[in-house]
Structure 1
């Protein structure tokens, strides 16, 4: 036990009591959940972040977007706007938030991307502006119980599974572990390669203490080819100053260090708002190392591309390392079939 944990215990107890009361009011129907006619798929977690929600949302987009008109809806954490906003060609990360903007940049020709704190109001607005929409993916909405999703997918990491975590501020949980009971599918993310059957069985048994019915899957991450952020003509350097502003960057750093020399790492908090001073410091470190550039995450890359930084980064090679969900084909097919069944039941078809 850390020496300061007794000081945090009362705050954790109060937070747990408040969220438990809120969930109880939803459970007994005192607070109302709305189920929409349009199919709604909830992707979320119990923890504050870092479980791989964005790669998994992108995984679902790739799964569905060729056959259906898909819209994603999230709160748009970290954006400088408020209320409902539907992405368009002039949108940026300040309007959408970094993760929705990342998704829009990748899939804007295939899907609609919307942000809005009040999902109950936002879903009808999506339908009004994009009446062709056939399925809505609710990103980071596991605690947003005013919308009753047709399929609730909960993510938890292999490194810090929810059943070994605690409610904030003692841990990272936004609500008690029992909240996992609402999930229809539980996915253990960021699993190591060749995960053995004994470890899977242990996780399975511990998850079953909180949810007896959900299907449980184990997935890893796969990293793609480096993508040039600003100038496609610049070659890949030998050394990289690593820049990350994500909830847990250790796996990202470990993967990069397998392939490249990393003389320095700027590790910022999740959803970090980059300032000119940050960029100047990063560039200074790059200039200290011969044949070096910047390597960052896709989420951070969308912010470093902002026009305010262009003059400082004009001659610095900047690359992003994309990441995707790595899931067994049979498990992926089960999820797809579950979603297709919901779409069919609600009167939508391919």
Structure 2
């Protein structure tokens, strides 16, 4: 099965015009079947969207603002690091986030988020039915929302909302773009700069979950690993995105290594320069192994070897034996004991597996997502646009939602609920003035706030 997954992954990464010259006979034999399944998948995607549009399939609305972090392709796009970045930012400002994740592949990403956010007010809900999971958490903890006019998320100062630390103020959907059953107030789409669209085909022939036209739903697009490709390739990628949605804000991010920790003694942390000029064997089962390797190579090792497995791969005994054989070969070749380097995600998926690699040392590299400065955009700009979208959602309010005596929910203090055309107009103008934006361009229709999409240039002026 692992060989089949790797073969499909290889097909998805190679343009069709190069298939005959770059694929093996066994890989080429898979293409007719993959093409058929891809066509069926495409029809299913379109049908599912129409059912949601027609209201046949129901969308759930949570009582707190919802941010979706998703992508158009499988794996390696930086969704989970972005979720961790957002959750930490909200928690640091006194707004308790609820992360909703499916828990695919042994829930490795959920375990990683729980470990990384330990000690914060962030909560992680795991399960395929995220609406039900959210309901249980909201019933248990209650919910509160920050007020866009007075509270300042992402400013480094605690929010002055009426909530207690445990009450949930915002929900974050990990891998949420295709999870249409929950309505969202902000759609962040992550794009892997190293392989943005693969061979441009839908699953399973290609890596696309949806056609590129789905970028039209994005409020923000983030080009991840932007520092690992040439500037002209970044510009070309931005051009492709803007052809679909000409005014969407685009940001660049990277994964910044911080330190190592020992997988055999997690309390032992090591600085990045402690293993310089060492022989590394990089072992990974992630969606973008190339980005992992490129980052490790920048740390200055003497030599880097690699063993790649499919995304979410859980290491088995035969895999460990393969790794041990490769380590012995490296030790014989270089005359020094090599070190195994893994990602945090690999550690959280299979922590017990690395015990079998003793006496060789196994280190996990800790990385954090960073927003890059590019064409005037910064991390502050990114956070400012997120707050602006949440305030434009019309659902940011004063007060706390608590459980009533009848098992339902009630508002414990006054809220800004816009129920009239004039009320909408005043509320939207007030929010726009909070950001130094003129209210003149605001377009309002009865019972629905319609705001023009802002260009980055205008945001940066304020």
Q: What TM-score does the superposition give when structure 1 sets the normalisation length? A: 0.84
Give the paired residue count.
330
User: 2:217 & 2:85 partners in 1: Cα distance?
Assistant: 22
User: 1:226 & 1:124 partners in 2: Cα distance?
Assistant: 37
Aligned equivalent of 2:109, options 82, 99, 103: 99
Instruction: Report how far residue 302 of structure 1 moved.
Output: 1.9
Alignment partner, residue 438 of structure 2: none
Q: Does 2:207 match 1:157?
A: no
Q: Give runs of aligned pairs for residues 199-348 of structure 1, distance below 5 A.
A: 199-231=233-265, 232=268, 236=275, 238-258=278-298, 259-262=300-303, 264-288=305-329, 289=331, 290-306=336-352, 310=355, 312-328=356-372, 330-341=377-388, 342=390, 345-347=395-397
Mark the CA change 1:277 to 1:57 in structure 2 (over 3 Å): closer, same or farther.
same
Alignment partner, residue 101 of structure 2: 74
Alignment partner, residue 151 of structure 2: none
**What SS class does the counterpart of residue 188 from structure 2 fall into?**
strand
Once the two structures are superposed, what CA deviation does each residue of 1:91-144 show, in whole Å capped at 9, x if it has no partner?
Answer: xxxxxx111101111112111111010111111111123331111111001101
Q: Does 2:119 match 1:109?
A: yes
Mark the CA change 1:145 to 1:331 in structure 2 (over 3 Å): closer, same or farther.
farther
**What SS class does the counterpart of residue 225 from structure 1 fall into?**
strand
Which structure 1 segments of 5+ residues have no match? 80-96
User: 1:62 & 1:294 partners in 2: Cα distance?
Assistant: 29
Alignment partner, residue 82 of structure 1: none
Higher deviation after alignment, 5-14 or 249-258: 5-14
Once the two structures are superposed, what CA deviation does each residue of 1:253-279 show, in whole Å capped at 9, x if it has no partner?
Answer: 122234213464221110011123322
Q: Give runs of aligned pairs for residues 174-193 of structure 1, distance below 5 A.
A: 174-192=209-227
Alignment partner, residue 52 of structure 1: 78
Mark the CA change 1:161 to 1:241 in structure 2 (over 3 Å): closer, same or farther.
closer
Q: Does 2:26 match 1:15?
A: no
User: 1:184 & 1:48 partners in 2: Cα distance?
Assistant: 20
User: 1:303 & 1:244 partners in 2: Cα distance?
Assistant: 11
- Larger relative contact order (C-alpha < 8 A, sep ≥ 6)? 1
User: 1:18 & 1:336 partners in 2: Cα distance?
Assistant: 36
Higher deviation after alignment, 149-158 or 214-223: 214-223
Mark the CA change 1:130 to 1:277 in structure 2 (over 3 Å): closer, same or farther.
farther
Q: What TM-score does the superposition give when structure 2 sets the normalisation length? A: 0.65
